[in-house]
Amino acid sequence: MRTYNFIYAIFLPLIFIRSLYKSFKFSEKLSRNFERLSIYKGLKNSKSIILIHAVSVGEVLASRKFVEEIKKRFPNHQILITCTTQTGSATIKSLYGDSVFHQYLPFDLSFFIKRFLKIWDPELTFILETEIWPNFIDLLNKRNKKVFLVNARLSQKSFKGYKKIMPILGNVFSKLDFVVCQGTNDLRRFIELGIDKNKIKKDFSFKFDSLSPAKVKKELINKKRDTKVIICASTHNPEEKILIKAFEMLKNEKATLILVPRHPERASKILNEMTNSNLEISLFSQNKFQVDFTKRINLIDEIGYLEDLFSFADIAFIGGTLIPHGGQNFLEAVRYSLPISSGESFYNFQEIADDLIDMKILEVGNNAEQLKNIWQRQLMLVSEEIFKNTKDYLSQREGASLRTFEYLSL
């Protein structure tokens, strides 16, 4: 671990400056960065602590049922939820308020982690998805504290990265008490990185448990009338250019394209880049947060509306897949039984994407021409079969949040 700590210490000033920049960008108090240095001045009581680490928004939302089950099973304990991002922090506060303690997880340098553990001394620690913090796990292990990696996933890209630097990580994977992972490939990779095959189980993603029932708002359907709606969700730069080109090539006068950038603050830049387009564009915030079905393109520049937008869409494209990003969540579109398209970069959701391809719900295209052809086919589909397939698919995979507790020695 000495080499790891040495390298981390060298880059720490840059990491800290980046954290300050992020705080400034999200209008967060700069003083919150002291939490990353294990300087905590918030609430604390005498109850034993159960720590849950969820890096950002996706993990926080996916773990809701898991957290609620911990509350039920351990009523005499206090829950501490940590994260590393501003959006994750805001989501934790919104969901749980004062019912849990919350702070940022400190930088993974031995000095900071020791001070953090001295403050909190968690009895049990649950790490969600892919957050491998070598010092954090090592020091919990040395304190004989149980640490579990749950809802775990490990892409081929991450696997190769960990394998290259394993000599400086102090056999970190072998120090986990148990792992519950999302897929067969994840299981194989974790074992190859040092996890005892008797200390790992495969189940489905917590994301299947985080989906609320689909809500179709009739007033939105009525406004839509006979317009065909293509929603492009959680897009990244430069995907919007490719998607607009595909839409122009589609030449369907009854279709409307709804672009939902993953980061809505990019909307003004996207709008400037679209000035050369001959298509009429409506900016969501300027239209009183309503979709204008008389315009060919609607650009969404606010968060919190994606569920409503999915509810009246006809087909969906999932972003982060035309670039080497690994994709965004497919399941919101699946919940509304939509035919889906994407690029081929979906390694963050590999098994889910493979399932959807096998079920003929997802089609993959890597350029504007291919996406145009997919959209032409999908807009002609009859939805009854997709509706049945998606409902069966989702119902068969529910319950991982609760089943996880059956595998762990608590």
Please check whether residue 349 is in contact with residue 153, taking contact to mean a CB–CB distance below 8 angstroms: no
Q: What long-range pairs does 37-41 form, CB within 8 A, spacing at least 24?
A: 37/106, 37/107, 37/112, 38/106, 38/112, 38/113, 38/115, 38/116, 38/119, 40/103, 40/116, 40/119
Residue 178 pairs with which residues in a beta bridge?
148
8 Å CB contact between 108 and 8: yes
Per the annotation, the verdict on 59 as an active-site residue is: yes
Query: Are 59 and 91 in contact, with CB atoms under 8 Å apart?
Result: no
3-class SS shares of the chain: helix, strand, coil, % to 5: 50, 15, 35
Q: Residue 309: which of 229, 388, 382, 223 has the closest Cα?
A: 229
Catalytic member of 28, 35, 59, 363? 59
Rounded to whole angstroms, the Cα distance separating 230 from 363 reads 14
Task: Give φ, ψ of 37 to 5 degrees.
Answer: -105, 15
Q: Rounded to an integer, what is the distance from CA 338 to the centroid of its chain?
A: 20
- State phi, psi for 144 to the nearest 5 degrees: 60, 35
- Positions annotated as catalytic residues are 59
